[in-house]
Amino acid sequence: MIAVENLSKRYAGGEVVKGISFSVAKGEVVGFLGPNGAGKSTTMRMITGYLPATDGKIEVAGAHLPEQSLRVRQRIGYMPENVPLYPEMRVGEFLEYRGRLKRVGRGEIARRLDLVLDQCGLAEVRHKIIGTLSKGYRQRVGLADALIHNPPLLILDEPTAGLDPHQIRSFRELIKELGQDRTIVLSTHILSEVEMVCGRAIIINRGRIEASDTLANLEKRVQAGALQIEVKADPATVLEKLRALSEVSVATEISQAGDWVAVEVVAVPGKDIRGEVDQLIKRENWPLRDFRREKARLEDVFVELTQE
């Protein structure tokens, strides 16, 4: 659906996007992840044809930029950052205007309008003036605008920024639902959003792609999470025996409560030590009351990949 090759963007002030390449297959939901100022918005604006690229190739749904810009724009539903709208227009009127502008036929527009109003939960504010709507509703109007011409590809720039937790939750549900029959690229700096909505993440930092993989694979890239156990035994012995295991790299005492000692065990990268530790505990007959592994989080991946 999207094929980007060696894309770069230079301004007088410097290079914002530095020769990135990636592709997005049909039906994928991809998260663009990166700290503020990483080049996410610039990249999205180049894909939508709004900003001309300094260098590189962009192909969207079989059409090339910048030669076939109108055809590309026709196939993209784009929701810009901060969702700019005309505040003096009414919701229905605005969406009808946008639909017509994006070449929805006169006979079709009423049906499309009803559909997106319903899909985005806007039916009850259809006749309201956009300027009087809450941030959450305005965000929905932006999404409805992106959907009105039924594009195969949605590009959403920070779609949940500025929403309250309830609104964020319902917005994510909506995006998930839309992702079932569309290709979606969304940018965010909220990691949990990617975890909840996207099948794949592209991590961008300072104009370069640091990683592009499924969430599960990304998590594997950082040290598998540490294992925490709590047993009733002599602390020194516990640590000594654990450290003797072949796949354990570090074992440290966290706390003691009465006879109980809590220990954190970190594996050699790429190894799963749960089995080995379990066998050790059974062999030594240590009473056990806690055994859990901290799951490696996308946040760790992100921090590790984007640190200075």
Partner 1 sequence: MTRAFWILWKREAGALLLSPIAWVLLTCMALVSGFSFSQCVAYLGQGVREFTVMQIYFYIFHFWFLLIILVPVLTMRLFSEEYKTGTIEMLLTAPVRDGDVILSKFFGALTFYLILWVPSLLGLAIFQAWTGQTVPVAWAPLALSYLMVALVGMFYLAIGIFGSVLSRNQAVAAMISFTIIALLFFAGFLSYLVRDPGWREALTYVFTLEQMRSFSAGIFDSRPVVFYLSGTVFFLILTQRVMAGRRLKG
Q: Which residues bind partner 1 (CB under 8 A)?
A: 11-12, 42, 45, 48-52, 70-71, 73-74, 76, 78, 80, 82, 84-86, 88, 97-98, 100-103, 145
Residue 74, both tokens: 């026709």
- Least gap, CB of 140 to partner 1 (angstroms): 15
Cα separation, 15 vs 9, whole angstroms: 6
**Do residues 226 and 266 touch, judged by C-beta distance below 8 A?**
yes
Q: Which of 123, 115, 122, 118 is closest to 99 using CA atoms?
A: 115
Give the burial class of 185: count Cβ atoms within 10 A of its Cβ; 0-12 exposed, 13-18 middle, 19 or more buried: buried
Our CB check for partner 1 shows the closer of 76 and 178 to be 76
- Closest distance of CB 17 from partner 1, Å: 11
Closer by beta carbon to partner 1, 97 or else 260:
97
| Minimum gap (Å) between residue 72 Cβ and partner 1 | 8
> How far, in whole angstroms, is CA 274 from its chain's centroid?
30
Residue from 240, 225, 232, 227 nearest 278 by CA: 227
- Would you say 218 and 227 are in contact if contact means Cβ atoms under 8 Å apart? no
Nearer to partner 1, 25 or 70 (CB): 70
* Dist CA 216 CA 219 (whole Å): 5
The least CB distance from residue 91 to partner 1, in Å, is 15
Q: Which is nearer to partner 1, 99 or 248 (CB)?
A: 99
DSSP 133: S
CB of 184 to partner 1, least distance (A): 16
Of the pair 81, 278, the CB lying nearest partner 1 is at 81
Minimum distance between the CB of residue 182 and partner 1, rounded to whole angstroms?
A: 17
Nearer to partner 1, 11 or 294 (CB): 11
Q: CA-CA distance, 24 to 185, in Å (whole number)?
A: 8
Closest by CA to 91, choosing from 146, 28, 137, 57, is 137
**Distance, CA of 303 to CA of 104 (rounded, Å):** 44
Q: How far apart are CA 287 and CA 66, in angstroms?
A: 68
Q: Which is nearer to partner 1, 20 or 211 (CB)?
A: 20
Closest CB 159 distance from partner 1, rounded Å: 14
